[in-house]
Chains A and B, each alone.
Chain A
Amino acid sequence: MFGMLKRTLTIGAMLFVALFATFTVAQTVPDATTLAGPPDLLGIATRGKLIVAMTSFDNAPFYSVKDGHLEGIDVELSNDIAEALGVEVEFDRSAETFNDVVAKVKNGEADIAVSKISRTNSRALVVAFSTPYVRLKNGLMFNRLNLAQKSQGKDLGDYVRNFDGNIGVIAKSAWVINGQQRFPKAKIIEFKTWAEVLDATISGEVDAAYRDEFEVRRITEDFPETSINLRAVTIADARDSIAVAVQWNAPRLLAIVNQVIEDRMIALDADDVIEMYRESIATEGSH
């Protein structure tokens, strides 16, 4: 249908060229397309709902099931985007990992992914990213004993810059590549889950766990006992931008997502997110 329209237009345009100056053509083409609606929004409009991909596991305060319904920063943002489009929202929570969530969008199984997705270069090759709605610094959670024994009283900043120990990360996450790029001398060890990364860090099997500042600071919120063994170090000049992933060939949808983010949300930082996390934990505790 799109191809046919284009062909007719081209023929029409050629006729115009014969009669008028070329600039009039440029004005006519978009006018003709708007009549049928932007092609990337047509599918959503006809379906009547926006499919949002999210990981199968909860991730408070971004998205988590509470009292039987889903809520959080990402859920609110998804609702706002759907409202702007004038459709319902449907969450697809079948993806097991963050990379799978991105793959859902890439393969066209979901329209967008709002699932605390980090913007990375390799992901940007297959999907388009929105303006970040949360900006987090990078964080390392060190095993205190390993840190004291290996740094040998050196300046901690210097030690972290030239870190040559073992870093634990979640397998197939953005942190594998981030770690390789930012700590070229370190050995990156992948673990299936974040919990396994933490266990390895507490036992001293790896020297540090690497993720964003929020996740790193959340550890001592969730498990106070770990603050005896673990020590958080924030890296000020390595940032992690959380953004919405959109199909690469959906410019109108991306523009609307960006507009919603820019109009309705101030980019959140780790302090905001930690605060929201504490609130969400507190309400959970009261049930």
Chain B
Amino acid sequence: MWKSVRKLLSNPVFILATLGASIFFGVKFPELSSRLEPIGGYYISFLKMIILPYLFTTITIGIASVAADPAGARYTWRIMVTYPLSMIVVAVISLGACFIVPPAGNTSDGPTIAALGAIVNKESHGGSSINKLEVTLAKPEVVESKGASYPILDRFVPSNVFEALSQGDSLKVVIFCIIFGAALADQGGSGSLSLFANMKIVQSACVEVIRWLNLVLPITLFAMVSGQVAKVGAGPLLSLAPFVTVQVLTACVLFLIFALIIARAARVSPIAAVVQLRETLILAITTRSSFACIPVAARELIEKLHFNRFGTDLVMPLGTTICRLGHVQYFVIGTVFISQMYGVELSLSQYVLIIITSVAAGFASSGATGALSVVMISIVTDALHLPVEAAIALFIAVDPLIEVFRTVVLVYGNCALTAMMTPLEEDPALWANEHETARAVS
């Protein structure tokens, strides 16, 4: 009985049907759907609860193994070359898409610009400070800054790892893990080995919790998706149709490229490269949290596509944190949209600047989610001296939809990067979950 329920809950057809039903429900009964949304929120909270311990153990073990293993050095090099390079490639593809479909297509039309203005007005009436600003002519008293003087580096440098953990600041946790893992590899003796073994147990326990949570996904999926659908107004989507179209089309193109990369590396068909990673994709679509997808993606890459566990456990979590492919795409298209909306002609050097600063903003957005990552576009627009506040109000209005694509590109893209960097595991005994293998042996 339990087994058949379990089978049904993880059946892709069943999940797709739930997905369709929840979209329908969200469109048909937006009010009821938005009341269901908190249920999805609790689910995401549960997932996040287990992500930090998982990341902590996985990345520390990963880095320590790389540092201890002479062959590990090649991962360091691959990561340092592949991450920036892949972000540049994504930026170039996104820019190319902007040439094919101009993201600000019809915004100079009277009715469209009036509708867009109304969105900006609505956002600023909502109490956000994006469009309201008060200054004084008298010089304000200088507020002493608290030491840190490079705001962009503030996000990267941890001062207290427990504070970072308690605030869920995953980027700082990851940086701590890298340093700590490297130091751990240097500590010889049996003591460090047993610490490794213990951490591996913690890690697999985390994976187990995530497995349980995955079982109730179809139930919460309904609440999450219908709530999200209810949030997207048709009005903003129509007014920003060209922008949304470019974002979605680019995401689809990138998705295809990623699928082909995974298929080639895993020696399976492109369809299998999508189907075998279905749990990851469904989780990315429903939770829109890239971090929540890391453990499931790593498990699917290892167990279903048979990538080497050691490489996957290292590259997948690290990449999802710092190699923000989805965000780079978003920033490039968003910036071109802003320049077109304000009628600013961009020179070749400015296009190059967009690519470089978008990659930089991608790194800077590490760990940022939702509206915060939308605001990160100001890193790019500031460099080009473009006005960004009105555009951010517009972007936030359509973000409930765009965020889904951004997360999918980020997560699936990092699956592709992992596939590129990690060899296949030849030994079938290592394909299955270590935990289950251990259970089977005993």
> Which residues on A are within 8 Å of B, measured CB to CB?
137, 144-145, 147-149, 152-153, 156-157, 160-161, 182, 220, 223-229, 231-238
Number of A-B residue pairs, CB cutoff 8 Å, is 86
Residues in B with CB closer than 8 Å to A238 are 137
Residues in A with CB closer than 8 Å to B140 are 157
Going nearest first, the 5 A-B pairs with the smallest beta carbon separation are A144-B387, A224-B117, A148-B387, A225-B117, A225-B114
Residues in A with CB closer than 8 Å to B385 are 148-149, 152-153
A233 to B135 CA separation, bound complex (whole angstroms) = 7
Residues in B with CB closer than 8 Å to A236 are 134-136
Pair B138/A237 contact, Cβ less than 8 Å: yes
**Most chain A CB within a 10 A radius of its CB, from B116, B121, B140:** B121
Residues in B with CB closer than 8 Å to A228 are 107, 113, 116-117, 120, 341, 390
**Most chain A CB within a 10 A radius of its CB, from B118, B120, B124, B344:** B120
Pair A220/B117 contact, Cβ less than 8 Å: yes
A247 to B344 CA separation, bound complex (whole angstroms) = 53
Residues in B with CB closer than 8 Å to A227 are 117, 120-121, 124, 131, 390
Residues in A with CB closer than 8 Å to B139 are 161
Residues in A with CB closer than 8 Å to B124 are 227
Residues in B with CB closer than 8 Å to A149 are 385
Pair B137/A144 contact, Cβ less than 8 Å: no
Which of A148, A152, A224, A231 has a CB less than 8 Å from the CB of B121? A224
Residues in A with CB closer than 8 Å to B344 are 145
**Most chain B CB within a 10 A radius of its CB, from A137, A149, A227, A235:** A227
Interface CB pairs A-B, < 8 A, 11: A144-B342, A145-B342, A149-B385, A161-B135, A223-B117, A227-B124, A228-B113, A228-B116, A232-B131, A237-B138, A238-B137
A237 to B135 CA separation, bound complex (whole angstroms) = 8
A203, chain B: closest CB distance, angstroms: 11
Interface residues of B in 79-111 (CB under 8 A from A): 107, 110
B129, chain A: closest CB distance, angstroms: 12
Pair B135/A234 contact, Cβ less than 8 Å: yes
A137, chain B: closest CB distance, angstroms: 8
A124, chain B: closest CB distance, angstroms: 21
**Most chain A CB within a 10 A radius of its CB, from B133, B135, B342:** B135
Interface residues of B in 383-398 (CB under 8 A from A): 385-390
Residues in B with CB closer than 8 Å to A182 are 137
A263, chain B: closest CB distance, angstroms: 32
Interface residues of B in 339-364 (CB under 8 A from A): 341-342, 344
A149 to B113 CA separation, bound complex (whole angstroms) = 22
A112, chain B: closest CB distance, angstroms: 32
Number of interface residues of B (CB under 8 A): 31
A149 to B350 CA separation, bound complex (whole angstroms) = 14
Q: B3 at interface (Cβ–Cβ under 8 A)?
A: no
Pair A144/B389 contact, Cβ less than 8 Å: yes
B164, chain A: closest CB distance, angstroms: 29
Residue of A at shortest CB range from B111?
Answer: A225
Pair A224/B387 contact, Cβ less than 8 Å: no
**Most chain A CB within a 10 A radius of its CB, from B107, B116, B134:** B134
A142, chain B: closest CB distance, angstroms: 9
B142, chain A: closest CB distance, angstroms: 11
Which of A144, A225, A234 has a CB less than 8 Å from the CB of B134? A234
Which of B121, B136, B342, B389 has a CB less than 8 Å from the CB of A235? B136
Given A226-B117, A227-B131, A228-B341, the answer on whether A153 and B382 have CB atoms closer than 8 Å is yes
Pair A156/B135 contact, Cβ less than 8 Å: yes
A153 to B384 CA separation, bound complex (whole angstroms) = 10
Which of A152, A160, A225 has a CB less than 8 Å from the CB of B135? A160
Residue of B at shortest CB range from A233?
Answer: B133
Pair B390/A144 contact, Cβ less than 8 Å: yes
A82 to B389 CA separation, bound complex (whole angstroms) = 48
A12, chain B: closest CB distance, angstroms: 57
Residues in B with CB closer than 8 Å to A223 are 117
Which of B114, B134, B341 has a CB less than 8 Å from the CB of A233? B134
Residues in A with CB closer than 8 Å to B114 are 224-225
Pair B135/A231 contact, Cβ less than 8 Å: no
A152 to B117 CA separation, bound complex (whole angstroms) = 24
A61 to B118 CA separation, bound complex (whole angstroms) = 22
Given A161-B137, A235-B135, the answer on whether A148 and B388 have CB atoms closer than 8 Å is yes
Residue of B at shortest CB range from A151?
Answer: B385
Pair B389/A231 contact, Cβ less than 8 Å: yes
Pair A237/B116 contact, Cβ less than 8 Å: no
Q: B132 at interface (Cβ–Cβ under 8 A)?
A: yes
Residues in A with CB closer than 8 Å to B134 are 137, 233-236
A229 to B343 CA separation, bound complex (whole angstroms) = 11
Pair B387/A231 contact, Cβ less than 8 Å: yes
Pair B133/A156 contact, Cβ less than 8 Å: yes
Residue of A at shortest CB range from B133?
Answer: A233
A177 to B190 CA separation, bound complex (whole angstroms) = 82
A187 to B426 CA separation, bound complex (whole angstroms) = 75
Pair A232/B137 contact, Cβ less than 8 Å: no
Pair B135/A157 contact, Cβ less than 8 Å: yes
Known pairs A227-B121, A232-B132, A233-B135 / 14 extra A-B pairs, C-beta < 8 Å: A145-B344, A148-B388, A157-B135, A157-B140, A224-B114, A224-B117, A226-B117, A227-B117, A227-B131, A228-B107, A228-B117, A233-B134, A236-B136, A237-B138
Residues in A with CB closer than 8 Å to B133 are 156, 231-234
Residues in A with CB closer than 8 Å to B137 are 160-161, 182, 235, 237-238
